[in-house]
Structure 1
């Protein structure tokens, strides 16, 4: 359920418990000196549908480039996984990229998709079992950014992790190192990890990928404001904010912002937040690495480099790492 938007903006609303963390994060983020909102809130049903559209845009190279690497270098990537391994995919989502790898892994002993949505996982597992009847599929509903228990049936099997899609770039480097350490603690000593990492490249290419001509990424960013209005009783006019994407060279990251077009005050569940004209809400980072800088980050988290594969244009990379034993 959502908060009734007809509630008086001057009287504090009482959000239902499932919206409590969302509201707390919005209040904290909009109340900060430098306003920001967690990128995880992009992905309601509307946001997820918009992101799927983003992945096929001509400007958005990461998805198609990673798929091409998995297709062209799949046998080499699969060879880095031990025979009889169980593959744990963190934040599994759809199985498009997994399927590119599965064709090269006939000896895989189990697949463990991990996602916060148990209902979504169950459906993905059902479809995958139908297509790969000989592959045991054991979904785990969990937050992959925190330690969780793997199914007991995996005991004694060699373990490998799969983290495609350059999601690692959405974490600041220190956070990314902590996440890689979490993966290592879940998978254990000697485990292998295959993951996608976006690379540093020309500013124009990077910024176009996050600010497409059709305006789909802008709609994706602005949907966050629509979601706040729907679920938290906000009175924000999304048309009074503009999408902005820029490459912060010093931090080696793309930043997405929502920039206030005018001086205004918005309210969320009865709390007011003033904006100056031109003031922004920082909504997402996407860190970009070189092969060497990512390997250095992984080493700090207890992983050693095995291999890295890139496309011919050097846009994207897929890494194989080994957990220290």
Structure 2
């Protein structure tokens, strides 16, 4: 069976979008949070990205989970699997199969900001796993962790390298918030993309088919739909830039021409110079020591570390410390 809990309403979403647009587009260096890529169209575009030849993280993570899911189940004996930012939950099936095979799993709790993507995923999972209780939560994993249901011990899966979308201070705050809802001895499974050569990284975020560019511009369509703005997405070009100092990819939208955009729902009129950027995403890349240090600072102990065969991607199993 499956249920869908709504942690925030459509009005809440618009209020959050309005606040982020006001903060980001009035800053000296304009920015927008990556979470606003993900309406129904954005979720579909991202699923297409994960299948692109240039985009290795999804395949690399799936390789690790396929190889190590049984050990994850044996170590955690989780009764509840929580997935943050679940999307289609396709990779999670590897964990579900292993935990059900281990005999411990009772409940699956996917949390995602996109109600449409979550409804589709929970229906599919419930249909394919008829003995599993599926409780989807429509919400923001930076704000609604305390609403997550499920019996202990719980395993929280935060996959896809999404942890890299946080700035370092926000990353620590988020990891501490996850630790705050877990009891000592419960579990976090964390996916992290690893530092590698610049060419491979840039290609992964600027594919030849232009799917990532459309995904990037989708944030403007979300603002148009939610706040009545008049962005012309075609007036912005997608840019993927590797920052070797911070060791992260920045996705940006660069104004092709000088323009003024009206956003009635945020009571804003925003001017763009030709060539001016909006930073729409950072995607930090990690080294094993850095992952361990950040987990320790947040109150976790890393107990397992795995990579794919090419050492492009890391998966860490961490225990909530006493």
TM-score range, shorter chain: 0.7 to 0.9
**TM (normalized to structure 1)?**
0.87
SS at match of 1:73: helix
Verify the 8 A CA contact 2:192 2:315 in the aligned structure 1.
yes
* Superposed displacement of residue 18, structure 1: 5.8
2:280 maps to what in 1?
A: 283
Closer, same or farther in 2 for the Cα pair 1:74/1:180, shift >3 Å? same
Compare the two structures and name the one with the higher helix fraction: 2
Q: Which runs of 5+ in 1 are unaligned?
A: 1-15
Alpha-carbon displacement from aligned partner over 1:157-189 (angstroms, at most 9, x marks no partner): 322211111111111122112111111121211
1:97-136 matches, within 5 Å, as 97-105=91-99, 106=101, 107=103, 108-116=105-113, 121=118, 123-136=120-133
2:7 maps to what in 1?
A: none
SS at match of 2:20: helix
1:273 maps to what in 2?
A: 270
Matches of 1:196 and 1:214 in 2, distance apart?
A: 26
Matches of 2:89 and 2:69 in 1, distance apart?
A: 15
1:294 maps to what in 2?
A: 291
Alpha-carbon displacement from aligned partner over 1:20-70 (angstroms, at most 9, x marks no partner): 432332233222111111111111122111111111110000111111111
Matches of 1:277 and 1:119 in 2, distance apart?
A: 36
1:87 aligns with 2:81: yes
Closer, same or farther in 2 for the Cα pair 1:234/1:128, shift >3 Å? closer
1:34 aligns with 2:32: no
- Please tell me whether Structure 1 or Structure 2 has the larger radius of gyration of its CA atoms: 1
SS at match of 1:256: strand
Verify the 8 A CA contact 1:149 1:186 in the aligned structure 2.
no
1:12 maps to what in 2?
A: none
Closer, same or farther in 2 for the Cα pair 1:268/1:137, shift >3 Å? closer
* Superposed displacement of residue 314, structure 1: 0.9
2:147 maps to what in 1?
A: 149
SS at match of 1:304: strand
1:192 maps to what in 2?
A: 187
SS at match of 2:317: strand
SS at match of 2:130: coil
Matches of 2:168 and 2:146 in 1, distance apart?
A: 22
Matches of 1:45 and 1:136 in 2, distance apart?
A: 25
1:137 maps to what in 2?
A: 134
SS at match of 1:250: coil
**Superposition RMSD on alpha carbons, in Å?**
2.1
Verify the 8 A CA contact 1:203 1:247 in the aligned structure 2.
yes
Verify the 8 A CA contact 2:241 2:250 in the aligned structure 1.
yes
SS at match of 1:246: strand
* Superposed displacement of residue 129, structure 1: 2.9
**TM (normalized to structure 2)?**
0.87
SS at match of 1:179: helix
Q: Which runs of 5+ in 2 are unaligned?
A: 1-10
